[in-house]
Structure 1
Amino acid sequence: MPNQRAVPTLRRRRLGEALLAARKAARPEVSQGRAALAMHWDESKLSRIENARARIKPTEVVELLKVYGVTDAGTITALQDLARDAGKQGWWHTFGDVVTPGYSDYLTLESDAESTHIWAPQLIPGLLQTGSYAREIISATGMTRTSEEINALAEIRKARQAVLTRPAGPLNMWAVIDIGILHQRSASHPSMMREQVRHLLDLADLPNVTIQVMDLDATPHPGLAGGFHVIRFPQPWPTVVNLENLRGGSFVEGTADARVYEAAFERIVAAALSVADSRQKLSEYLERVV
């Protein structure tokens, strides 16, 4: 409906933040009132755009960036594209309320990302999970979930994995998993981990997927403080870090904070087995476990 208020989706929030940053970065800095006047808008409209509560057309993005003196073609195109996609709903919205707002934000980030670096000390990352492993883990961690919700979340987790093979540029994924994960067992599905490890080896054959194993004799590293996902995007979008917990997780979006996790991941990679040795370790697991 034309008069319906814009929902402050994650993409719309990122667009508003980017336009606000561009206005403040202009030299001299452009006031909200001056920018609105140049666009022939009420000042309240620009305020709502910057706060993700109003839509802005891609053509208006171009004109507004001219006011701010932004000439970089890549930045202009990126903001135009975000304005065009800001109101779009992802495929996961068909699953209804089972997808919380925070999880929806994560799925949006994952679908827009160009790469993700994951340190997984407790669980196989969702993008690498088999269906049986996903159901087992969701059932164990989703303590208040119904069986229908668990099945729906497992379906979503499998559907997410399409980003690894999407034709228009697959997501580049680098995951470091702790070897202790391989000792998880399922009473209802005894072959669960064997199937999961075989799946890891299959995915490791993809050119955009790198998997390493943190062995028991690894030297101390920053990952001992807990797991995290570093999610990277094309310019000009900043890196985002996701920290998971029982309530779904939280985001670290400050540039300085994100760099800490990026540096931590580099040290984790250095402490883990090499890619070749990791593959050998996973293959030995299959030979050892019946």
Structure 2
Amino acid sequence: MPTTPGPTVRRRRLGAELRRLREAKELTVDQAGEHIHRSGPTISRMETGQFRFVLRNVSDLLDLYGVTDDEQRQALLALVKENRRPAWWHSYGDLVPRWFQVYIGLEAEASTITTFESLLVPGLLQTEDYARAVIRAASPELPAHEVDRAVEVRMNRQKILTGDQPVQLWAILDEAVIRRHVGSPTVMTRQLDRLIEAAEQPAVTIQVVPFTAGAHAGMIASFTILGFPDTGGASETVYIEAPTGSLYLEKQAEVRRYEAWMNQLRSSALAPTPNTLSIITAAREDLQR
């Protein structure tokens, strides 16, 4: 966990402030876009931190929004200047879509990550071979060297789980995750071993929602809640991923709804130890039969 907000959090903080200023002036995104010769959708992407800020554009928007206080202007423009250093994942920009680069940045700067997965082991806990099997299944057209690069991205993301200040990860998995055979029996066995090992890390908590729990709050979709240190912006963001895009929710009412669902999932799931470890071990033993 970084001790100061990184570029993605700063960008989203700036975007949120620009949205607040625009709405205070009762301007639409199209009106704001026209002022800087950009489209309304581009303004929307700026306000959600998914578009690279240009100093002149931000300055012109501040003029439009009536921001005349020099201290406030300089503080906001400083956020633009601080975002110019490329992050490690930018070198994979030809492979990783822009919408997922935003998520990697948020993930890298989060202090807590709470995730529910209904189908697959979370990327932060995948082994290389499991990740490779998933990527090949999802993108069969990718040549081998691009699959290798995609696996590299996934493994690099996992570095946030180690170090002096690792992110606090709480992963809740449907039992289908540990029962579905991804890759060969050997690949799946090693993946289950990885989950057992990860569960022993102080910063990682894993729970499994057993089939016997019946219907539960996560049956509609997998989702992740990212928590951040106080950066002057939203302290929590809900992330929902789809095959070709993503959805971010930051309004307090929306976040609270997903937090309630996550708490229901915690209650439906087995205790981290010993019950969750026991069911993962049982799934591993079934692979050997």
**Which TM-score bucket, shorter chain as reference?**
0.7 to 0.9
- 1:45-87 alpha-carbon deviations (Å, 9 max, x no partner): xxx9x8643289xxxxxx969559xxxxxxx9xx899566422
Which residue in the other structure is 2:219 paired with? 224
Which residue in the other structure is 1:155 paired with? 152
- 1:170-222 alpha-carbon deviations (Å, 9 max, x no partner): 111100111112222256x3311110011011111111100000101114322
Aligned-residue identity in percent:
28
Which residue in the other structure is 2:249 paired with? 252
Which residue in the other structure is 2:262 paired with? 265
Q: Which has the higher contact order (CA 8 A, sep 6+)?
A: 2
CA contact under 8 A between 1:115 and 1:233: conserved in structure 2? Answer: yes
Which residue in the other structure is 2:189 paired with? 194
Mapped to 2, the partners of 1:151 and 1:17 lie a distance apart of: 34
CA contact under 8 A between 1:11 and 1:85: conserved in structure 2? Answer: no
Which residue in the other structure is 1:172 paired with? 168
Q: CA deviation at 1:18?
A: 4.5
SS in 1 for 2:104: helix
Mapped to 2, the partners of 1:207 and 1:84 lie a distance apart of: 37
Q: What count of residue pairs does the alignment treat as equivalent?
A: 249
CA contact under 8 A between 2:54 and 2:80: conserved in structure 1? Answer: no
Mapped to 2, the partners of 1:208 and 1:82 lie a distance apart of: 31
Within-5 A mapping of 1:29-108 = 52-54=53-55, 85-108=82-105
- 1:75-104 alpha-carbon deviations (Å, 9 max, x no partner): x9xx89956642221111222400111111
1:184 maps to 2:180: yes
CA contact under 8 A between 1:92 and 1:156: conserved in structure 2? Answer: yes
Amino acid at match of 1:244: E
Unaligned runs of 5+ in 2: 1-6, 27-34, 37-42, 48-52, 59-67
Q: CA deviation at 1:145?
A: 2.8
Indicate the RMSD between aligned Cα atoms, in angstroms: 3.2
1:280 maps to 2:281: no
Which residue in the other structure is 2:199 paired with? 204
CA contact under 8 A between 1:176 and 1:211: conserved in structure 2? Answer: yes
- Classify 1:65/1:218 alpha carbon distance in 2 versus 1 (closer, same or farther; 3 Å): farther
Mapped to 2, the partners of 1:281 and 1:264 lie a distance apart of: 23
CA contact under 8 A between 1:15 and 1:83: conserved in structure 2? Answer: no
CA contact under 8 A between 2:224 and 2:239: conserved in structure 1? Answer: yes
CA contact under 8 A between 2:124 and 2:157: conserved in structure 1? Answer: yes
CA contact under 8 A between 1:141 and 1:246: conserved in structure 2? Answer: no
